[in-house]
Structure 1
Amino acid sequence: MKHYDIIIIGGGAAGFFAAINTAEKFPNLKIVILERGKDVLGKVKISGGGRCNVTHAEFTPKELTYNYPRGEKELLGPFHTFMTGDTMEWFDNRGVELKIEDDGRIFPVSNNSKTIIDCFLNETKKHNIEILTNQGVKDIIYSNDKWEITTGSDIFTSNKLLVATGSSPKMWEILKKLNHTITNPVPSLFTFNCKDNRISDIPGVVAQNVNVKVLNTSLESEGPLLITHWGFSAPSILKTSAFGALELAKLDYKFTIEINFLSLDLETVLNDLKDLKLEEARKTVYKFAQFELPKRLWHKLVLEANIKEDTKWADLNKQQLEALAKQLCQAQFKIDGKSTFKDEFVTAGGINLKEIDFKTYKSKQHQDLYFAGEVLNIDAVTGGFNFQNAWTSGYIVAQNIGL
């Protein structure tokens, strides 16, 4: 049986960030990270297509919270303690240069997640933080003022315990026995599956600044839309999936979306088309894309409006103009299922937020038990926000767990 001052369960972003900051604030404590897999920081490695989307360039706490479908209210206080600017300074102080891209995402200048991983591993080595892999936790009990953690091969004890396992059904089952309530997990970030002639053979096409509505719900979002081999993706879809995670799960991921490819109202679009009928009278409708839409998408929408490839603008009748206007700003698509967004699996669900003191991230149910990251019922839209939650929670735990 091995004893530590602090045991951290979970070798991911939140766990490492908490360990390093704890060791800096309380240098005499003996700290160990227990990771169930053979490697640590796996999610950091694949994030942002292998570049690691560290955080997002939103520097106002209140505005930052709007990117969290679950946790918006609870994170406001923590973000006043540690948020985006603090994250950038933290990495800068350790020699990691970051850059802000046009869409607000923040990456290492190296464009390689290994830069972040190496930073963490160097810091843990510097502070003598022990890392043990292949340590899947089987049980956790609190006895004689100490935590006892049983893994597949060892038993560990500690004075303080931090659980930072991310979305882990096995860990949630263990925590239920410690009187914590778990909100059942459902997928949060996912793409929409759709079979439709309008998109069947144009994967890779991106429409900018679209509006997406899920019919018969209040779900609505804006942003780029990517047509894929299986349906739809990109920020407009992923934001809808995040904020609609619970509602879409109840619908068994079968619903209808309405896409406004132009983010303009129907009357405006119809008037614009009437103007084009006059201005471009001799040109064929199909050949020249309008409204800065991708040509392949324009072709599909024109054909769907029952306009033949050789039809000239001057020859369009009222019904065709109205049909084209609807395809441009009220196009409906039936969604049948979902797909995981890349390898970055995010869930809505986890420890009930009412059971956490967000000034310290300490459990309200147990003394000397802390949580950080996605093990809590907190999740965000894509763009670096889930990592910011990990950094913030890990930092605040570190300021308190050694006291």
Structure 2
Amino acid sequence: MKKILILLIFSISMISFSQEKKFKIVLDAGHGGKDPGAQKNGCIEKEIALDVILRIGKLLEKYPDFDIKYTRTTDVFIPLKDRAKIANDFEADLFVSVHCNSSVSATPYGSMTLVMGLSRSNMNFEIAKTENAVIFQEEDYKKTYQGFDPNNPQTQIGLKILQEESLLQSIDFASKVQSGFKNNLKRKDLGMHQQPLWVLDATVMPGVLIELGFLSNYAESRYMKSEEGKSNYSQIIAKSIIEYKDQIKETTTEIFPLDIKEPKIEEPVIVKPIVEVSKDSTATTITNDTVIKDTIVGPKYKVQISFSTKKLELLPENFNGLSNITVAEINGGYKYYYGEGSMENCKKLLAEAKLKGYKSAFIVESK
């Protein structure tokens, strides 16, 4: 009976200590320094990620039961192994990494949250390769990561989930974040996905990698870059962290009231249809889409997608859904071009054309 009483007192003491112990959170701003991350539409991933992380920390610092650790607070390069070491040495209860997504197409948009796991989704695998690719910028990466190759699917399959309980907690937190983005911010919900990411595999606590949205999508990039947008994201993530802490620690916290504001997003420039006529050829440009104004310094370029002896109406359905098509009549045939602008912009257009099936498309100088 005496032994049972001692054990009971010891158990109560341990529970009390656990409840009084501060909740340790590691806030990780993706990329940094020589690794800018995605760069689209005048936005740089490393800058947005850091801004949002610092805002999250500022909100959590108001609560005395949080102990916060940042992997970086300035624009510096932090290797993935060091990010994981910071979290493990800190003995964190939760690891939260913030990133921005990107695509070769301007169409995709929406937020998603990734947790450690295995997935057969090609889209998720491409994200995993992008986020893991920072490894190649580190010295002695082959030795450090012991053969981990983010471009090799066999490497991804070989990764393991360290603890089932940790994974379930990660999924639970990810669900809170996505629910907040969807219900409070009205952002498109791309859901929670399991994906092999080195930094999540190397950390021994529950952790997530949050993709706020696509910088390659003009409207979404404006939202992420705006002060209101960054504030909105940080509030939802901070609120989710507090709710998760309360759930794990069995505590009740009075959470700050949300102050969600709609950003004043700069509208893209609408380009009107252009007709160009030259001495030896005729060219007609039809533009039906809203596009981003391309500031051009130097020569202009365009993407030649095909040559035919048949003249086609410049309708999207005749060009696998592409609009902004130019046709030039030369020597009895017709050359069809997609878009026009700087070399940098045309590289993006070339990638889009190839995705639409024009595998032999190429860039030419616009005369």
Q: TM-score range by the shorter chain?
A: under 0.3
TM-score (norm 2): 0.26
**Structure with the higher fraction of residues in strand conformation:** 1
Q: Which has the higher contact order (CA 8 A, sep 6+)?
A: 1
